[in-house]
Amino acid sequence: MSNCPCCGNALLRHARHGTVYWFCQSCWAEMPNLDLMQIINARRQLRQPVPTGGERKELVEVGCN
């Protein structure tokens, strides 16, 4: 089960128009599937060359109201 990145409450899994998404009843908003995003990002990092010298990666945060 996934938890909301904003409030920590349990997310509800919903299906709409052939896609699955997570919904937080407390925030009353759709939330990204952070577990899936972490897996995808890890796979992308494995495919990228290792940064050298002054190259930096920026972190992307989920915006919570």
The mean per-residue pLDDT over the stretch 30-48 comes to: 73
Tokens of 35: 């577990």
The mean per-residue pLDDT over the stretch 40-59 comes to: 67
What pLDDT was estimated at residue 42?
A: 74
Residues 59 and 13: their CA atoms lie apart, in Å, by: 26
Tokens of 3: 């938890």
Q: Is the confidence at residue 44, as pLDDT, over 70?
A: yes
The angle subtended at Cα 17 by Cα 13 and Cα 5, nearest 5°, is 30
State the Cα torsion 64-33-23-58 to the nearest 10°: 10
Q: Global pTM? A: 0.52
What pLDDT was estimated at residue 36?
A: 66
Residues 5 and 28: their CA atoms lie apart, in Å, by: 13
What pLDDT was estimated at residue 17?
A: 85
Q: Is the confidence at residue 5, as pLDDT, over 80?
A: yes
